[in-house]
Amino acid sequence: MVLMNYVELRDNVPKVLHFSDHYWVERMIWDKDLEKEKPVRSLVFAVDWEDGEVAIRTFSVLSRGLALQFEPYLQESRFRDFLFTVTKTGRGFATHYTVEAKPLPPDVPV
């Protein structure tokens, strides 16, 4: 049995998240095209709200394109003031992410 505490994005299913903290981590991933491991820099968020419920989860961002969409919110941890709706479409090199940021409503208990 594997305990998974990571947020999983499913194709065409919007995921509403609130982040309480973030950090960067270096990871080794398997590159199937090069057939070897390679280092990547990953943006990691602590999630305290997921799809309308209090949560204690991790959202790990390996996609550089997705990380760039969060970049404006990283300075001074501005992401804490927003709810983010993240939607993934496609697979492999055709994967695309849309991110919508809305101000955090007062009724979200974070």
Segment 16-61, tens digit of pLDDT: 999 999 999 998 888 888 889 999 999 999 999 999 999 999 999 9
Rounded distance between C-alpha atoms, residue 59 and residue 46, angstroms: 7
Is the pLDDT score of 97 beyond 90? Answer: yes
Q: Is residue 6 part of a domain?
A: no
Is the pLDDT score of 93 beyond 80? Answer: no
Ranges of H-type helices in the chain: 64-70
Q: Is residue 4 part of a domain?
A: no
Q: Kindly state the average pLDDT of the residues 82-97.
A: 93
Q: How many domains does the chain have?
A: 1
Q: Which domain holds residue 32?
A: 15-103
Sign of CA dihedral 66, 42, 109, 10: positive
- pLDDT interval class at 107 (50, 70, 90): confident
Q: Is residue 56 part of a domain?
A: yes
Q: How many CB atoms lie within 10 A of CB 66?
A: 19
Q: How far is CA 69 from CA 10, 20, 72, in A?
A: 18, 17, 7
Q: Is residue 49 part of a domain?
A: yes
Q: Is residue 2 part of a domain?
A: no
Q: Is residue 3 part of a domain?
A: no
Q: Is residue 35 part of a domain?
A: yes
pTM for the complete prediction?
A: 0.88
Instruction: Tell me which residue has tokens 């949560």.
Output: 55
